[in-house]
Amino acid sequence: MDRKPGNPAPSGAPATSRRALLRGGLALGAVAAAGLANSVHADAEAKAAAGPVDYPSAVWSPASTSNYTASNRTTSYPIDLVVIHVTQENYADTIRLFQDPTHAASAHYVVKSSNGAIAQCVREHDIAWQAGNWGYNTRGIGIEHEGWVDQPAYFTTAMYHSSAALTAAICDKYGIPKDRDHIIGHVQVPGTDHTDPGPHWDWVRYIRLVNGV
């Protein structure tokens, strides 16, 4: 994981001046406008919180907008890579970091070790800051996996199967070949100092699962 927005006055009552009525009307209008603005803002926040996922099995857990670049892929950039990461954090803390506007990193998805649950943090058409290389960021979908590179117990059967199904769906959607030239580890990104997913990640098993073997 790289660490790298007016009624008339009643009879006998003093007449209300036109200026006072105007002021009152403006004040009421301002209150109404503020209420409408708050309602629109609340609706927008609710839609963002519920926001549509690209993969039906995922739960929307949005990263801070400070941690990725809004885009319109594949119109702006082609998508032809899936980049496999290991978080070096637990699942919840990884999502929390992506939601921290000072973190300066994100990935599209995070997969949980224990049960293969998937969180989507960045929409696929946007550019996650995941690879530490702008060219690879623009081309890739980044998938983080809960765990540590030197602790293979985190790479569970549930994680492998869930992640492979996600990668297969991404490859089918964008016409990405399901091979090791297009499904790569973070360690393979030029210029990176990261080693994930590390020597304990079972690439043979993973690619077979992605291909339904």
Instruction: State the Cα–Cα distance between residues 207 and 205, nearest whole angstrom.
Output: 6
Q: Structure pTM? A: 0.78
The C-alpha atoms of residue 163 and residue 142 are separated, in whole angstroms, by: 11
% the chain with pLDDT above 90: 76
> Does one domain contain both 92 and 143?
yes
Three-state secondary structure call for residue 85: strand
Spatial CB neighbours of 124, under 8 Å, sequence gap ≥ 6? 54, 73, 79, 108, 141, 170
pLDDT in tens, 172-212: 999 999 999 999 999 999 999 999 999 999 999 999 999 99
Is-contact 1 144, C-beta < 8 A? yes
Decide: 70 and 130 in contact? Cβ < 8 Å.
no
Considering the domain architecture, whether residues 67 and 164 belong to the same structural domain is answered as yes
Q: Do 128 and 190 belong to one domain?
A: yes
Q: Are residues 83 and 42 in the same domain?
A: no
CA 36 to chain centre: 29
CATH code: domain of residue 139: 3.40.80.10
- Tell me if 155 sits within 8 A of 87, measured CB to CB: no
* 92 in any annotated domain: yes
Q: 84 in helix, strand or coil? A: strand
DSSP H helices, 86-130, are 91-98
Identify whether 6 is part of a domain: no
Residue 197 counted as domain residue:
yes
Residue pLDDT, tens place only, 38-79: 443 344 344 444 468 999 999 999 999 999 999 999 999 999
Q: From 96, 118, 113, 114, select the one nearest 105 (Cα to Cα).
A: 96
Give the domain range for residue 206: 59-210
Could you tell me if 142 and 88 lie in one domain? Answer: yes
Same domain, 28 and 125: no
- Asked whether residue 1 is domain-assigned, the answer is no
Same domain, yes or no: 23 and 86: no
Q: State how many domains the chain has.
A: 2
Q: Tell whether 135 is covered by a domain.
A: yes
**pLDDT for residue 1:** 59
Residue 4 confidence (pLDDT): 41
Looking at the chain, the whole-number percentage of residues with pLDDT higher than 70 is 76
pLDDT digits (tens, 9 = 90+) for 14-23: 444 434 433 4
Averaged pLDDT, 98-125: 98
Same domain, 107 and 185: yes
